Every structure is written in structure tokens, then in C-alpha cells.
Amino acid sequence: MKMRKARLEDVPLLATLGSESYRHHFERHWVSAEELQAFIEEEYAPQTLAESLVDSGVSWFIAEVEKPVGFAKISWNLPVPEHSFSGALLNKLYLAPGETGKNYGQMIFEEMLRLAQRREQHYLWLQVLEGNEGARRFYEAQGMRHLTNETFSSATQTSTLYILGRSI
């Protein structure tokens, strides 16, 4: 697997990968199909992605094995909720449908750790949706520990997000 930094010309690829992988992995957690669609359209809109790609506080990466198999987004120097320090926030680590179980997630996570260390980040944190037990087990196996919870609300539902983190 090869990881590369995403560029502006990758916006269409990220829009497709993002919407397909998000729907595949998280659709069952949404009460309203309309809200899910609106979230995906906003989160992976070309303009939204383009703005994020040129933000110096954010980095996007694409994982490839002959073809794109996943992506990651990491934000730098963000305050850790309910703590007095900052770190790198692993916003997204998503694999394309059909690409789980091939150790790609492990490789992407390890690369994100290396990148955070190179950027002199001393802490890595992330959010895991309640009910996504596979992701929670995966991150805990990487040494992440539960810090606190946050709430995500939409018009039709309220969900709990577990905040996990670890020193690096």
C-alpha cells in the first residue's frame, strides 16, 4: 500500500471515496435517509473538499494499492476535549467498500502516527460513533483510550461520539 498526500485535482476522487465509504460504513447509524444524504452532500461537496485541501491546518491522504482503497484526514494542533493540551485530530480514516480486513486500516493508522510525530504533535485523538464497536476495538488495540464523550445531534437523532486518544 502506498500513501500520498491528496491534491486539489483529487477532489473528485475524495468526493466519490468519501460518499461511498461513509454510506457503506455508517448508513445503519442514521435514522433519516434524507439527513444522511444531506450530510454526505455537505461533507464531500467539491467546494468543501477544495477548501479543506488548501487549509494549512489540515492534511488529506489517499491510500492506494493499484487503485485507491481508502483515505485519511488529519487536523493539526486542535484542543483535546476536556483536557488542557492539543494534538492531532484524526478526523477520518475510511476504507472503500470491500477493502476492510486487508490490514489497510492498520497501515494508514501507523502512517498517521508517523506523520503526527514528524509534525511534533505529542497527542493523537479521534471520535468513534457509539455503536461502531469494530472501530472502537481497532483503535483501542492501537493504544487509544477513552477520554470523554461528545454528542452529535441532527433534526431526527442524537448520537454519542466517544473521544479516544493517546500520547505519541
Instruction: Sketch the domain layout of the chain as residue ranges.
Output: 2-123
Grid coordinates representing 60?
488529506
Q: Radius of gyration of the chain from Cα atoms?
A: 15
3-state secondary structure of 142: coil
> How far apart (Å, rounded) are the C-alpha atoms in residues 74 and 77?
10
Average pLDDT over residues 144-159: 93
| Sequence letter at residue 137 | R
Residue-level pLDDT at 155: 87
Element (H, E) at 63: strand 58-65
Residue-level pLDDT at 144: 98
Instruction: Give the angle subtended at the CA of 166 by the CAs of 122 and 143, to the nearest 5°.
Output: 135
Note the pLDDT tens digit of each residue in 106-121. 999 999 999 999 999 9
Work out the percent of the chain whose per-residue pLDDT is above 70.
Answer: 100
Grid coordinates representing 133?
464497536
Average pLDDT over residues 116-138: 96
**How are strands ordered across the β-sheet holding 123-129?**
2-5, 58-65, 67-79, 86-95, 123-129, 158-167, 145-153
Which CATH superfamily does the domain covering 2-123 fall into? Gcn5-related N-acetyltransferase (GNAT) (3.40.630.30)
Residue-level pLDDT at 154: 86
Residue-level pLDDT at 15: 98
Grid coordinates representing 79?
484542543
Note the pLDDT tens digit of each residue in 25-44. 999 999 999 999 999 999 99
Q: How many CB atoms within 10 Å of residue 115?
A: 19
